[in-house]
Amino acid sequence: MLVSQPVRRGVALVAMLLVASGLQATTLAPADAGRGGHHHSVGPDRIDLPDGWRPEGITTDGRRLYVGSLADGAIWVADPRSGDGEVLAEGSPGRVAVGVDYDRRRDVLWVAGGATGEVRAHDADTGAVLATYSFPSPDAAPRFLNDLVVTRQGVYVTDSRHAELAVVPLGRKHHRGHDRGHGHHGNDLPTADAARVLPLTGDLVLQTGNNLNGIVELDHWLVAVQSNAGKLLRISPRTGETTEIDLGGASLVNGDGLEPGRHGVYVLRNRDNLIVPVRLDRRAAEGTAREAITDLGLDVPSTAARLHHSLYAVNARFTTTPTPTTPYWITRVDLR
């Protein structure tokens, strides 16, 4: 999600990048043209975030959008139908919000803390921090807890610097209280000492730069993108064994966030300003990269949330020097 490499923008460059990667692009209308220029629009095509926000992760509870801040770990919530939003959780010096995911069973937002090595659980209604889990680095290289996904078994967090997943188990053992069902605001969160790591074996080979990044669950497998290598990897959540998914030679370099689709995943290639639908077979062993989507409103999109036949892509703008007045926004891409 944080890769340092300058890029020139423009439709011509997008075409060159696609030729190099063997993909084609569909260019949509500018996301801020008329605020609702797409057919079947369910809300504005551009949702402005607070200036200086420095977004990276986005998720949805099916009604609202939640966006974290790299600057101070704050969380912003918005109504996608109107584009109106507000700060849900205030930031704090030294706090970071990279990937975020919504936990429907507990009504909790899980947040990856990047180089802090922490994972936080926030109440999705009040923004209050309910629990913090620490994952010390196993060596001299600091962790970078990048993105995460919530499953029935646990919260699985990618570390872009180590061949491990940080894990917060979500079984009953080690929990503060009893599981009382959906929407009870984290009453069944595990205690801090439940945090563990899952070593990764198999096809994952660490390279210089950002390795594992976006992660999702598909049919009881975990699927993650290795940004620097341009690969998708299937991961066993039980053993940690990784298997490269055969994409027929297609590259997903600069792959950042992943978002599940009907038959696979959407891969956000951040600095390429592309969203690549990848169709996967039932075992997530083989995949086909489909026609890539671009949009003139995209500016280094890092992650996306799928809602109402749309992808809401948050623009991290990593090639723009961040200041307190730098504008940031979400771009809605119609999938119909």
**pLDDT > 90: what percent of the chain?**
80
pLDDT value at position 308? 86
Q: What is the band of 172 on the pLDDT scale with cuts at 50, 70, 90?
A: low
pLDDT value at position 336? 81
Inside any domain, residue 81: yes
Inside any domain, residue 88: yes
Give how far Cα 175 sits from Cα of 105, 151, 222, Å. Answer: 14, 16, 24
Lowest mean pLDDT among 3-7, 24-28, 216-220, 315-319: 3-7
Q: What are 262-265's contacts with CB under 8 Å, separation 24+?
A: 264/218, 265/216, 265/218, 265/223, 265/232
Question: Which H or E run includes 129?
Answer: strand 129-134
Inside any domain, residue 4: no
Q: What is the mean pLDDT of the chain?
A: 88
175 in Cβ contact with 192 (< 8 Å): no
131 in Cβ contact with 106 (< 8 Å): no
**pLDDT tens digits along 184-206:** 455 589 999 999 999 999 999 99
Inside any domain, residue 328: yes
pLDDT value at position 96? 98
Inside any domain, residue 195: yes
Distance between CA atoms of 162 and 180, rounded to whole angstroms?
Answer: 35
pLDDT value at position 186? 52
Q: Strands, DSSP E only, in 151-291?
A: 154-159, 164-169, 196-199, 201-202, 212-218, 221-226, 231-235, 241-244, 255-260, 264-269, 274-280, 287-289
- The token pair at 72 is 């101070």
The domain tally of the chain equals: 1
Inside any domain, residue 152: yes
pLDDT value at position 19? 40
CATH number for the domain that contains residue 281: 2.130.10.10
Mean local confidence (pLDDT), 9-36: 41
Query: Residue 95 sits in which domain range?
Result: 11-23+31-334
Inside any domain, residue 131: yes
Inside any domain, residue 45: yes
